[in-house]
Structure 1
Amino acid sequence: MNYITSRTLNFAKEYNPDCNNSEKFLLETSKDNKIIIKMIKDGKPIYLGSKYNVGRDIDNIVSQIKSMDDKSFIIIFGLGSGEYLEKLSEMLRGENMLLIIEPRLEIIKLFLENKNKNFIDNERIYLINVDSDIKDILNGFIDFEKLYNIVMAVYPSYDRCFFEEYSNIFGCVKTIKNNLIIEFNTTKAISNALFYSQVKNIPRIAESLPVNNFKNKFNGKSAIIVSAGPSLEKNIDYLYKIQKNFIIICGLRNLEGLLKKNIIPDFICLLDALDINYEFIKNCSDINIPIVFHESSSYKVIESYKGPKILFLHEASFSKAICKKVDSLYQGGSVAHVCTSFAAYLGCKNIIFIGQDLAYTDDKFHASSASFGDEEKKLDGRDYFFVDDVFGGKVKTDSVFDLFKQNLEQFIKMNSDINFINSTEGGANIIGTKVMLLKDSSSLYRNKNFDKSNKIGNMFASVKDVFNVRDIKENIQKNRDSLGDIKIYIEKNKKVIEDFSLYYIKNKKVKITKVMNKLDKLDKFIHKNVDEFVLINNLLSPIVLDVMYKKEFILNSNDTDNKKGIKISNKYKLLYSSMVKAIDVTIVLLDEVIFELN
C-alpha cells in the first residue's frame, strides 16, 4: 500500500461522522450478490450504483476506461463499495496508475469493513478524499508525461449525488491540464531563448554577486514593490515624496517611468528572456542601481547594463555550472513575484504593493508610465471573467492574471510572519493582504532614521563571496567537450538508428535485438552526460520534451506492433537529428564564452 492511500485510510478510521449530518451511509447486498452503498439524504434513500446489478456498474467503469494503454493514468471519481477494484487491478499494466477520488470519508470508513479493501494494497492504486488538499495532490500526479494519457471515469450515480464535488474535481483536472499545455508550449517556444541567455550570461555571472550576500541585510525594514498595473498612476506622485523612507523594488517595465518622476529605485528585478526587456532598459542602461537577475534572464539586458548585478538562480542545479551554490527566489510567473520574494529575502518585515492590479482596471493593461506600445489587449467574453476587487466590487481579469494572483497569495500564505499591505488603488483583491491607501500605509510602516543609500553601498563594498572565473571556465570546457563526445557517438550510430527505422518501415532484415542493444547503449551514454553536466541537460531536455510527447508518437492500445515500432523509430530519428543540430550551434556558443572568460 502506498503512502497516500495509507494516510487516507488512517484519516477515515479516526473520522467520526456528525450525528446531525443530513447524509447517512449503509452497506447492503445487491440483487446480484455484491456489496452496494445506500445513501440516506434528508430522509430519502439513494443507491450509489445499481441496487439490482452491480456487475453492470463494473462493466460501466471498464467501458469508460477502455481507451487506456500501458502509460495511462486513470482517475475515477467515486469509490462506491469498491467492487470494481478486483477487475481494475487485473487491468493495470505497464506504467498504469489508478487514482480514486472519494468525496465522503464515511464511504471510505464503510469500505474498510468489506472484503474488497484488500485490493487497495496494490501500490499502483491511490485513494484520496476530496477534503484532502486535492489540488496539490492532483498537481503532484499530473505532469507532462501524463498530459495526453489521462483517462477519467465516474462511478454510477456519483455525478448526480455529489455534483458540486464532481464539477470541482473535473474542473480542477481540466485547469491543471490547461496550465501544463500552456507551460509545455511556452517551454517549447522559449527554451532556445532561455538556454541561449543562460550561456551568454555566464561571463556576466562571473562578474556579479550571489544573492546569498544580501540575505536579511534589511531585517525588520519596510519595502514598496512597484508594479506596472493601471492603478500605479494614482500612487506614483506620492511615491516620490516618501521614497527615502522605504526600500523601493521594481521591475524593468517601471524603471524609465519612475526615473522620469525622479523616483530612484533601490533594486531592479529582471525575470524572463524576452527581447522586450531590452526596450525597457535601453535608454537607462548606464544607471548605478543593482539589478537582480537569474541565469536565464535576458542576456541583452545583462550584457548592456552597466550597474551592479545580483544573481539568484532559476534552477538550483545551475550551481554546478558556475561552481558555487547560489540561492533561488520564488518565481510565480511575473517579475512582481521576484520583487516580492527578494524583499522577503532581504528580511523586510512589511511589504507594500502599489500598481499590483492583476486585473484590467478601467479596461487597461498597464499604467501609461509603464507602457511601451504593447499595452493594447482586446478582451471578449471568452478571455476575461470577473473577480473581487479591492473596493468590494468586481473587476475584469483573465486566466494569466488570476494565476499570478493565486501564486502571489500562495507566497503570502507561506510567509505569514511578514506583513503584506495592498496599497494598489484598484485591481483584484489579493487574499492575505491588508488593504490601505498608500498615504496611510506609508505613514504607519515607514523606516525611521534610514540611510539606505550608504547601507546598500556598504553591502557591495564589503562583499567577499564572489565567483571563481577559472573554475567556471574549466567547467564550461568540460561541458563543451562532452557535447562533442555525444555528437561523435550519435554519428557513429547513424546506421544503427537507420536500421532500427527500416526494420519497421520497410521490413528490412536486421538483427533487431543487436540493434536495440546498441541503441540502449547510446541512450545510456547520453543520459550519463546529461546527468553529469547541467548545461547539457538544459540544452537537451527541451528537445527530449518536444519529441517524446508529440501526439503522433504516443502509443495507443489499438496500435499494431508494427505501427508502434514505426512510431518509436520515427521518434528516435527525429530526437537524435535534433540533438546533433542543437549541439553544433551550442559548441560554437560555448567556444565564444570560453574565449570571453579568458
Structure 2
Amino acid sequence: MNILEKNIQALASGTNEPLALKLNDFLKNQKCTRFSLDENLNIFDLKNQVFMYSDVNQEIDYFKNAILEKTLRYPFVCIYGIGNALLLKSLISFYKHIFIFESEIELFILALSVIDLSEELSNGKIYLVDINEEKVNIQLSMLFDQKDMFEYLSLYEMFINCSYYEKYFIEEIEKIDHIINDNINLVIRNLDPEGKLSLICYKHFIQNIPLMLKSIPFQRIIQKRKNQFENCIVVCAGPSLEKQIPLLKKYQENFVIFCADGAFPLLYKNDIIPDYILNIDIDEYPITFFKDIKKEKLDKTLFISTLHTHPKVISYLLECNINVSLPLAINVPYQNININEFGYIEAGTHVGHVCYTLALLLEFKNIIIIGQDLAYNDKGNSHFSDFALGENIDNTLNIPSLKILAYGGEGEVLTHLAWDDYRKKLEILFASNTQAKFYNATEGGARIAFTEELSFKECCLKFANQNKKILEIPKKLTLNRGNKFLKKVIEIFKKDLYIINQTLEDAKFLYNALEKILLNEDKLTLEFLVKFYENIENFNSLIEQNLILHDGNLKNVLYCRGENLSKIILTKISEEEKYLSLYFVIYKDWLIFFREKLNEKKEILNNLVQNL
C-alpha cells in the first residue's frame, strides 16, 4: 500500500469518509491536469503558470514561524490550503488539532501522496475539510462542538499556507471564513452560555422520572410500530398551515400524522385527529393547547414528550387519561440512569425536530412537511391565525431578525435568529438521514436544504396509496415493576451525589490552594507553579472523564472556563511565570462559578432522593 492509499484509508476509517470517497472516485476516473509536483516538492499551477512556492523550504519555514508566533498555547489552528503538506507536518506537534481547508481535489491528492499522515488522520489530530463538500456545514458544526473544541472557539482565526493561496484563492478563503464564523456562532448559542436553560431542563428531567414510570415505555412503541407504514405528514404551526387544512382533512386516513403541540388545536377544530402529538417545552403554557377537548377522541393518539418537558404538562395529560410516553433524550445524563426500556430520542431544540426524529425511528420512508415556515408571513405573523398563544407571538420575543432565502429559491423572507438556527439544525438532521426522503410541502416561509420542495397536493396524490391501520396502544408498566425501576434509579442518583460531593470537596481544596498561591506568588518558584498547574490539569481531566460532571447540563460552565482562559491566551504572553499567574486568577474565579452550578445540580438530585 502506497502513502496515498494509506492516507485515504485513514480518512475513510477516521475523520472524513466523504472526502475519502471523493478522492477514490477522482483517482478512478480522472487525472491531475491543473497541478503537478516536481522533484523538490514544489507544486506547479498550469492554469496560472506559476509555482506555489518561490522557495519551498524557505517559505514553509517563514509561514510556520509566523503561525506559531500568533498561536502561542492555542489548542488548535485553522489553515487554508494543504499545499505540499510539509507545513502541516511541521506543525503537528504544536496543537491538539489542525484543520486544513482546501477547495482543489488535485491538491489533496498531491499532498497526500507526499507524507504519511494516516495516524493523525485516523485519530482526528488532523482534519481535512473540502470546502466544496455539500455537507460542509454539518462537518463544521460537529467538529466545533467536540468537547475539546467548544471551549476555545473564540481563538478561531484562519491562517494561510503560503502567499500563493492569498493571491489566487482569496474568494474561497473569505467564503469558508464566513461559513466557519456562522457555525461557531451557532455552536456558542446552543451552549447556553448564561446557563439559564440547562439546569431547568435537568430539574424537569429529575421531577419527571416518577411520571415516566407511569407512562407507556417508549421503546415498546418503537418495537411494535416501526416499519408499519411508509408515508407520514409532519404538521407544524407556521402561518401557512391554514391553507393546507382541507387537503390534510381529506387525506388524513392515508397518512400517519405527527403534530407539533401548537398545531393541535387547529387540527382538532377541523376534526383531524393526529396519531402522534409531540411537545418538548420547558414552560407550562402548552396545557393551553389541550383545554376543552374530548378525551375519547384521542384514545388512539400518542402524546410523546421528552423528560425535560414541564412536569405540569405531563401531569395534566396523565390526569386526562391521555396516552403519554416520555422517552429519554440522547445525551449523557439521561443515558446514565440506564433504564433502556423507556428508550431514547434525539430531541433537538424545537418540537418539529423531535417529530422528524420520531418518524425516522419508526422507519418512515417519505416524510412530508407542512406548516414549517420558519419565517414571518407577508402580514408579519409567526403562526396561523387563532394560534392559542397569538398569531404574532414571536414578534413579542425581541429576537434579532434577518432575511434568508425563501421557499422555492426565489427572493427572501424575514426570519429571526432562533428560527434560522433551527433551520440549520434541521438541515443537519435531514442530510444525515438519507434512508428517508423529506418533502417540504409548506409552500411558504424559508427554504430548507436537503428537502425536495413539492406542493402538498402533489405529495398527497403521489403518496396516498394506502389507508393506515389502527395500531394498538402499548401497555404501561405494572405498579410493582415501576417501583423496582424507581428504586434502581434512586440508587444510581445516590452514587451520582457521592461523586458530586467528592468533586465539590476537590474544587474547594483547589480554590483554597489557589488563594494561598496568589497571595504568595512572589515567593514561589516557577517549578512550583508548573507543578501546581499539573494539579489543575488533573482536575480538568477528572471532569472530562466523569459522565456525571461532563454532561450537557454543565456544558455552559465548561465553555465559560475556556472562554475566560482564551482571553489570557490571546495576550500572547511568552513569560511562563506571568502566564501562570494570570491563569490561576482566571481559574480561581471560574471555580466559584463551577461550584455554584454543581451545587445547584446537587440540590436538584437531593430533593428527588429525599422526597422518594
- TM superposition score normalised by structure 1: 0.79
- The answer on 1:148 being equivalent to 2:160 is no
Q: Is the 8 A contact 1:496 1:515 kept in 2?
A: no
Match of 2:589 in 1: 574
Paired position in structure 2 for 1:68: 71
SS of the aligned residue for 1:236 comes to: helix
Could you tell me which residue of structure 2 aligns to residue 339 of structure 1?
Answer: 355
Matched, 1:184 2:188: no
Further displaced range: 184-193 or 123-132: 123-132
Show the 5 A alignment for 1:434-473.
Answer: 435-442=453-460, 444-446=462-464, 448=466, 450=468, 452=470, 455-457=471-473, 459-460=474-475, 468-473=485-490
Report if the CA contact (8 A) 1:13-1:109 is conserved: no
**What's the counterpart of residue 292 of structure 1?**
304
1:4-19 to 2 correspondence within 5 Å? 6-7=10-11, 11=23, 15=27
The answer for the alignment partner of 1:251 in structure 2 is 260
- State whether structure 2 residue 119 is matched by structure 1 residue 104: no
The answer as to 2:365 corresponding to 1:357 is no
Alignment partner of 1:478 is 2:487: no
Is 1:79 the counterpart of 2:94? The answer is no
**Matched letter for residue 239 of structure 1:** L
- After superposition, what is the alpha-carbon deviation per residue over 1:456-486, rounded to whole angstroms, capped at 9, x for unaligned? 44x3479999671221222223323443344
| CA distance in 2: counterparts of 1:425 and 1:558, whole angstroms | 56
CA–CA distance in structure 1, aligned partners of residues 385 and 504 of structure 2: 50
Partner of 1:311: 326
CA contact (8 A) 2:439 2:453 kept: yes
Q: Give the CA deviation at 1:214.
A: 1.3
Structure 2 SS opposite 1:568: helix
Instruction: Check conservation: 2:193, 2:560, Cα contact below 8 A.
Output: no
CA–CA distance in 1 between the matches of 2:143 and 2:440?
Answer: 34
**Partner amino acid, structure 1, of 2:311:** Y
Q: Distance in 2 between matches of 1:589 and 1:258?
A: 38
1:231–1:357: 8 Å Cα contact kept in structure 2? yes
Kindly tell me: are residues 238 and 83 of structure 1, through their superposed partners in 2, closer, same or farther at Cα, counting changes over 3 Å? closer
Q: C-alpha displacement at 1:367, in angstroms?
A: 1.7
Contact conserved, 1:503 with 1:509, CA < 8 A, in 2? no
Mapped contact 2:497–2:602 kept (Cα < 8 A)? yes
Equivalences for residues 378-457 of structure 1 within 5 A: 383-390=401-408, 395-397=413-415, 400-431=418-449, 433=451, 435-442=453-460, 444-446=462-464, 448=466, 450=468, 452=470, 455-457=471-473
1:446 and 1:396 map into 2 onto residues whose CA distance is: 33
Which of the pair has more CA radius of gyration? 1
Query: SS of 2:257's equivalent?
Result: strand
The answer to whether the aligner puts 1:25 opposite 2:43 as a matched pair is no
8 Å CA contact retained: 2:186, 2:421 = no
Normalising by structure 2, report the TM-score.
0.78
Q: Displacement of 1:434 after TM fit?
A: 5.2
Q: In structure 1, which of residues 280, 292, 301 is the aligned counterpart of residue 313 of structure 2?
A: 301
Q: 1:321 corresponds to which residue?
A: 337
The alpha-carbon deviation at position 431 of structure 1 amounts to 5.0
1:65–1:399 Cα change, 3 Å: farther
Partner of 1:550: 564
What is the rounded CA distance, in whole Å, between the counterparts of 1:433 and 1:109 in structure 2? 32
Q: Distance in 2 between matches of 1:443 and 1:112?
A: 50
Structure 2 residue aligned with 1:370: 387
Q: Tell me if structure 2 keeps the 8 A contact 1:38–1:46.
A: yes
- Residues 359 and 367, structure 2, Cα contact 8 Å, conserved in 1: yes
Indicate if the aligned counterparts of 1:103 and 1:129 stay in contact, CA closer than 8 A.
Answer: yes
CA contact (8 A) 1:220 1:348 kept: yes
| SS at 1:80 equivalent | coil
Q: Is the 8 A contact 1:4 1:128 kept in 2?
A: no
Which amino acid is 1:45 matched to? Answer: Q
Look up the equivalent residue of 1:149 and give its one-letter code.
Answer: L
On the 8 A contact 2:235/2:257 being kept in 1, the answer is yes
Structure 2: tracts of 5 or more residues without a match: 12-18
Cα distance, 1:492 vs structure 2? 5.5
Structure 2 equivalent of residue 230 of structure 1: 239
Match among 38, 41, 61 for residue 44 of structure 2:
38
Partner residue of 1:48? 52
Q: What is the identity, as a one-letter code, of the residue corresponding to 1:357? A: D
Between stretches 413-422 and 276-285, larger displacement belongs to: 276-285
* Deviation at residue 227 of structure 1 after TM alignment: 0.4
Please say if residues 141 and 183 of structure 2, whose CA atoms lie closer than 8 Å, have aligned partners that are also in contact.
Answer: yes
The CA deviation at 1:68 is 0.3
The 1:100–1:223 alpha-carbon spacing in structure 2 relative to 1, beyond 3 Å, is closer
Higher relative contact order (CA 8 A, sep 6+): 2
**Deviation digits for residues 85-113 of structure 1, max 9, x if unmatched?**
57646xx43x4433333433433454567
Instruction: Write the letter of the residue equivalent to 1:25.
Output: F
Aligned equivalents of 2:261, 2:27: Cα separation in 1: 52
Q: CA deviation at 1:447?
A: 7.1
SS in 2 for 1:153: strand
User: 1:206/1:554 Cα in 2 relative to 1: closer, same or farther (>3 Å)?
Assistant: farther
Residue of structure 1 in register with 2:204 after alignment: 197
Deviation at 1:366, TM superposition (A): 1.8
Cα–Cα, structure 1 residues 296 and 395, in superposed 2: closer, same or farther, change >3 Å?
same
* Residue identity opposite 2:485 in structure 1: N
**How many percent of aligned residue pairs carry the same amino acid?**
22
Between stretches 200-209 and 397-406, larger displacement belongs to 397-406
Match of 2:578 in 1: 563
Separation in 1 of the partners of 2:542 and 2:276? 44
Point out where structure 1 has 5 or more consecutive residues left out of the alignment. none
Aligned-partner Cα distance in 2 for 1:157–1:203: 63
Note if contact 1:272-1:298 (Cα within 8 Å) is conserved in structure 2.
yes
Residue correspondences, number: 574
* Contact persistence 2:214–2:477 (CA under 8 A): no
| Secondary structure at the counterpart of residue 200 of structure 2 | helix
- Aligned AA (1:200): Q
